[in-house]
């Protein structure tokens, strides 16, 4: 279970990072809407996705798993604080957690998703580190494909729900 969740979290953080690098202006706009100004926008616009990609890599490289888990927890707690503050202030902004892959507004659903991810991260920290490269090749391939597939299903279902809501509203 821990190896599967490790791959899933790596896929999530890698996708999040890549989406921010692919559409930096969109992510910068979110930072500005959250009250970040000046050079900090460009700095955070580069720093956050860089740390996300580093986290994804640490989760899967030998000896880096525990560091990746701690970094992941710190990021998720920071994201949760930002989302909580935005909810309290009733800030109307796009999430841009996954860029155009999963467009949504910052809100309660974002907060719930972050709490679930924090729970997964705490579970992984409490578990023994998994030697991913000690797994049989077939199991390794299955877990990578399964975690990627489940994440793709999540994104597609969120898109379908969003389209359905848009149709009902019109």
Interval 59-69: pLDDT, tens = 989 889 999 99
CA pair distance 75, 68, nearest whole angstrom:
10
Task: Please report the sign of the dihedral spanned by the C-alpha atoms of residue 110, residue 112, residue 113, residue 114.
Answer: positive
Phi then psi for residue 105, to 5 deg, are: -85, 150
Statement: residue 78 has pLDDT above 70: yes
pLDDT (mean) for 1-27: 87
Instruction: Report the pLDDT value the prediction gives residue 27, as an integer from 0 to 100.
Output: 86
pLDDT (mean) for 116-128: 93
The neighbour count for residue 141, using CB atoms within 10 Å, is 11
Q: Which two tokens stand for residue 11?
A: 């896929």
Choice among 1-5, 55-59, 97-101 with the minimum mean pLDDT: 97-101
Calculate the average pLDDT of the chain.
Answer: 86
DSSP H/E element including 66: helix 65-89
Phi then psi for residue 94, to 5 deg, are: -75, 150
Structural domains counted in the chain: 1
pLDDT (mean) for 50-78: 94
What percent of the chain is predicted at pLDDT more than 90? 31
Statement: residue 107 has pLDDT above 90: no
Range of the domain at 61: 2-169
Q: Which two tokens stand for residue 61?
A: 């490289």
What percent of the chain is predicted at pLDDT more than 70? 97
Instruction: Report the pLDDT value the prediction gives residue 33, as an integer from 0 to 100.
Output: 87
pLDDT (mean) for 110-117: 89
Among residues 90, 93, 124, the alpha carbon closest in space to that of 12 is found at: 124
Q: Which two tokens stand for residue 132?
A: 């991913």
């Amino acid at each position: 279970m821990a190896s599967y969740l490790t791959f899933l979290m790596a896929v999530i953080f890698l996708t999040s990072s890549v989406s921010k690098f692919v559409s930096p202006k969109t992510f910068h706009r979110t930072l500005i809407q959250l009250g970040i100004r000046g050079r900090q926008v460009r700095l955070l616009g580069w720093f956050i996705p860089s740390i996300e990609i580093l986290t994804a890599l640490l989760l899967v490289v030998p000896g880096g798993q525990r560091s990746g888990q701690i970094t992941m927890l710190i990021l998720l707690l920071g994201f949760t604080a930002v989302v909580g503050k935005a909810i309290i202030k009733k800030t109307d902004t796009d999430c841009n957690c996954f860029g155009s892959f999963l467009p949504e507004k910052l809100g309660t659903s974002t907060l719930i998703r972050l709490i679930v991810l924090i729970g997964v991260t705490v579970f992984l920290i409490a578990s023994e580190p998994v030697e991913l490269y000690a797994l049989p090749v077939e199991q390794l391939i299955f877990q990578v494909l399964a975690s990627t597939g489940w994440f793709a299903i999540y994104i597609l279902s969120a898109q379908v729900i969003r389209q359905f809501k848009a149709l009902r509203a019109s």
